[in-house]
Structure 1
Amino acid sequence: MERLVLTTEIAPLHAICTTLDWPNLRELRLRGEPRTVGDLPLSIIAMFAHMSRLRILDLKLKLTKPEESPPRPIWPIRYKSEFPWQELQELTVSFPANNDLIYRKLPDTLRALTLQCFPHITSKFRQHGAEGVSGPIQSSDWLRILRRCNLPLLRSLELEYRENDQDDELLRHLGAAFPKLRQLKVRRYRREGVRMADVPVEHNARTLGSLPQPLDLSLYLDNVEAPDTRVVRGVHHDREEDLAHKFQETLDGVADAVARGLAGTATAVETFALLIPENFDLGSFELGRSDIM
């Protein structure tokens, strides 16, 4: 078997981790609530170290109450071993832990790194707004984690976080740390008390301007509210196509601000997409290099 996709709530983890061999497994994907095995719970690194030929490790595990139960590291400080997945190319981790040693030990074979919430905050965003975003997803947390990585050949990076005072430093760090980056996807949420209108779109784009490679860039900047499909205003119902047109005009304005921010920087964007909540289509904008250089 080369590929294994499991829902943790029903997966036979004990057998997978302790009694079965996986000499040819290349891809492991886990979804659901965090689980472990043993009276003394094993870390993820210990559970799957025998899958030595993994190239893709995708850990999308929920964290219902991060304030009460912080995320567990994949590689805890007490675990002593060599890195088990020397061919690893893609790693996805939901709610990364600040004290996780795995980021110091990632091999230079890694080409794609995703650090996110699961599910994405945007899937709950329309119900809760920015103040409903909880958990260890501040800019400063991500910056500390990425500073531990030595991945000069990384080509794809995805981040999801809430801004704080180290937001600019995080964005500037990307160009210095990952000179081969070709795909960047950022879901960035406002800190509490910041209005949508105050999100500095042009400034954020300019801060990203140190990325040296032509880039496929996708952004969610938490500054545009997607309309309901029908909105009641007095006795008048806006038509869906009118709402969609107004929404598209707003997205066009955001795209223009991003283009202005990138103009004159080192970053050449080949494609640019604005990410919007999952019940809406993706707003996509083709920005030729001549438009932003």
Structure 2
Amino acid sequence: MSNMKTGNDLSMFEKLPDEFLSLVIQTLVSEEPDGSSMKQLSLTSRRLRSRCLPALFQQVSVDCAHHQTSVPPPASWPFVRTLVLFGSFTTYSGFHMGNFLGTLLHLVMLRKICFRNLKGGVCWLHLEQLCNTPAFRVLEIMESSAFRRSDFWFPPDTCHTKFPLTGFIYTIQDPYVSDWNENRRPALPRRCYMAPLFLALHQRLEVLHLPSAMAPLEQMASLDWPSLRELKLYDEHCEADPNIFARLCSRMPRLRILDLRFFHTGPSTQTLIWAPDPSLTAPLSNIETVYLPYPDPKDALYAHLPSTLRKLHLVDCPRYYRFNVKLTETIDGFTKPYLVTASDLLGIFDEMPGPFTALEQLEVAFKADANERLLSRHIVTTFPNLRFLQLHRYRSEGESESDNETAVESIGHDISDLLHLRHLRLYINLPKDDFRYPVSEEGSCDTRVASSEELTDLFYGYAMTIAQNCGPALHTIDFLSTWIYRRQVWTRWFISRGGKGHIVVERCRDESGDFFLPSVCYLSDPS
């Protein structure tokens, strides 16, 4: 795009069908944060302008120090959905300089306001000035975990309900990443300075995202959350009370998404939501998505999941392959988790009152044992309409490469009855591809490391084996390598079928990384 300067160069986009033009615009949004090419494209014709402006102005950033002169232009007003405010104020009057607040009244689609690294933090004055924005419903605060703030406070005789907020998101910009010989982030504060605000809004909030270590769980469990439908807790979790989540969920009758994207730093080695205690009850009839790291087979949660469940992720987060080596003491600050076996996972699924015909996504991690085949068959019968399946299969003691090949063949055969399966992701935990730390480790040379060419050939064979067993809906298979490519990477393979059912397996050159904490990320707009 940067080289297309003539009208003829740009006018060729005018001839593109809508679906292809949408792909071009999506690519420009992701590849060019400054939007320079899209601005140029929007000047070509009325049609391109109508397609580019909504994407170009979906998010607008304003430096608080110059807010009076950096208001969004009138052409953007109908399209702005997210406003990012950053920097610092030059006076104590907040947004009163210029016509900034008057402009906000025209942003009728502005749903989310995000404060990013605001010097001094967010205070009552800022929110009071913004609360008249017509569609403002979601507040996000993005900050470094190193910031230490004074608690948010309400002036005397203030009506808490004047804020129109239904969503509160607190995003730390430096999630904890632990690797060999890297600087580790200091531990998170054990409180969120904005807690007085979101606790005061407990009757109204529908979406709440917090770092788990900063969430006042005891206070939250003492309040009713009648409207909350989405709870996300991420990063460190050090809570020792085994009943805290059952008590918390019992206060959330409309909860639809329970997303615990955290890792344990306290005494727990698994995630327990609902201890087998008959005195505790949790209304789970509306739950659609559950995301839990290192599930506990004793958890009573699974027996109460509704048949309308749509997504279930029982994951190894942090990734177990980093703990599954001798040098685990390098992962300091983390509690070594307990990974369920195939038998444990089978027991969890047996507790679930299936079949779950609405479930479309399933992600599980387990250590192989004698019940592995029963597990995969049970997955097929209990979740017959899966469209996405991710399996992290950690080999049992003494398994060889031939055992891995047999396991892949069995998986391909067992899931062949998933007629709607479109995307399969597998981690096979190959002996030649074991994760290694970049230091000498006793015994690390006992296992030969495969070459990248060998691994590519192996993954091609695995993909072909699975494709030959599965139906025509399957078109994508990903395999995870933890060492051979000198990084943790998912390689992607596309499946197509030619004439007479001939199967073609092609490797995609686009690769995605696998992270130690794969689910810690910037949290997006819940709307």
Question: Normalising to structure 1: TM-score of the pair?
Answer: 0.78
Among candidates 398, 421, 446, match of residue 193 of structure 1: 398
Cα deviation digits, residues 149-174 of structure 1 (max 9, x gap): 22222110000011001111111111
Q: Is the 8 A contact 1:206 1:262 kept in 2?
A: no
Note closer, same or farther for the CA distance 1:128–1:171 as it changes in structure 2 (3 Å cut): farther
Q: 2:251 is matched with which residue?
A: 50
Among candidates 209, 212, 215, match of residue 8 of structure 1: 212
**Cα shift at 1:17:** 1.6
In 2, distance between residues paired with 1:157 and 1:56? 15
Q: Is the 8 A contact 2:284 2:304 kept in 1?
A: no
SS at match of 1:282: strand
Note closer, same or farther for the CA distance 1:120–1:227 as it changes in structure 2 (3 Å cut): closer
What one-letter code is carried by the residue in structure 2 that aligns with 1:87?
N
Q: 2:489 is matched with which residue?
A: 281
SS at match of 2:276: coil
Instruction: Give the RMSD, CA atoms, in angstroms.
Output: 3.4
Q: Is the 8 A contact 2:275 2:300 kept in 1?
A: yes
**Cα shift at 1:203:** 3.2
Q: 2:239 is matched with which residue?
A: 35
Q: 2:409 is matched with which residue?
A: 202
Note closer, same or farther for the CA distance 1:144–1:209 as it changes in structure 2 (3 Å cut): same
Among candidates 276, 279, 290, match of residue 77 of structure 1: 276
Among candidates 87, 108, 118, match of residue 286 of structure 2: 87
Q: 2:348 is matched with which residue?
A: 145
Q: Is the 8 A contact 2:221 2:244 kept in 1?
A: no
SS at match of 2:259: strand
Gaps of 5+ in 2: 1-166, 168-205, 439-448, 505-527
SS at match of 1:161: strand
Q: How many residues align?
A: 272
Among candidates 419, 422, 428, match of residue 215 of structure 1: 422
Cα deviation digits, residues 37-96 of structure 1 (max 9, x gap): 6xxx63412123212222210124545698xx6646322222346651332111012222
What one-letter code is carried by the residue in structure 2 that aligns with 1:5?
H
What one-letter code is carried by the residue in structure 2 that aligns with 1:281?
V
SS at match of 1:269: coil
Q: 1:168 is matched with which residue?
A: 373
User: Percent identical across equivalent pairs?
Assistant: 27
**Cα shift at 1:227:** 9.0
Q: Is the 8 A contact 1:175 1:212 kept in 2?
A: no
**Cα shift at 1:137:** 1.5
In 1, distance between residues paired with 2:218 and 2:423? 41
More off after superposition, 55-64 vs 141-150: 55-64
SS at match of 1:142: helix
Q: Is the 8 A contact 1:208 1:267 kept in 2?
A: no
Q: Is the 8 A contact 2:343 2:375 kept in 1?
A: yes
In 2, distance between residues paired with 1:15 and 1:253? 52
Note closer, same or farther for the CA distance 1:227–1:93 as it changes in structure 2 (3 Å cut): closer
Among candidates 26, 32, 36, match of residue 229 of structure 2: 26
**Cα shift at 1:255:** 3.1
Q: 2:308 is matched with which residue?
A: 109
Among candidates 450, 456, 459, match of residue 254 of structure 1: 459
Note closer, same or farther for the CA distance 1:34–1:209 as it changes in structure 2 (3 Å cut): farther
SS at match of 2:495: coil
SS at match of 1:119: coil
Note closer, same or farther for the CA distance 1:26–1:147 as it changes in structure 2 (3 Å cut): same
More off after superposition, 69-78 vs 215-224: 69-78
In 1, distance between residues paired with 2:475 and 2:248? 40
What one-letter code is carried by the residue in structure 1 that aligns with 2:493?
F
Question: Normalising to structure 2: TM-score of the pair?
Answer: 0.46
Note closer, same or farther for the CA distance 1:125–1:267 as it changes in structure 2 (3 Å cut): farther
In 2, distance between residues paired with 1:86 and 1:287? 38
**Cα shift at 1:140:** 0.4
Gaps of 5+ in 1: 231-242
SS at match of 2:481: coil
Q: Is the 8 A contact 2:308 2:357 kept in 1?
A: no
- For the pair shown, the structure with the greater C-alpha radius of gyration is 2
Note closer, same or farther for the CA distance 1:118–1:54 as it changes in structure 2 (3 Å cut): same
Say which structure, 1 or 2, has more relative contact order (CA 8 Å, 6+ apart).
1
After the TM superposition, which residues 122-133 of structure 1 pair with which residues of structure 2 at under 5 Å, given as runs?
A: 122-124=321-323
In 2, distance between residues paired with 1:124 and 1:36? 22
In 2, distance between residues paired with 1:267 and 1:159? 24
Cα deviation digits, residues 201-239 of structure 1 (max 9, x gap): 3333223323222321000001151798x9xxxxxxxxx
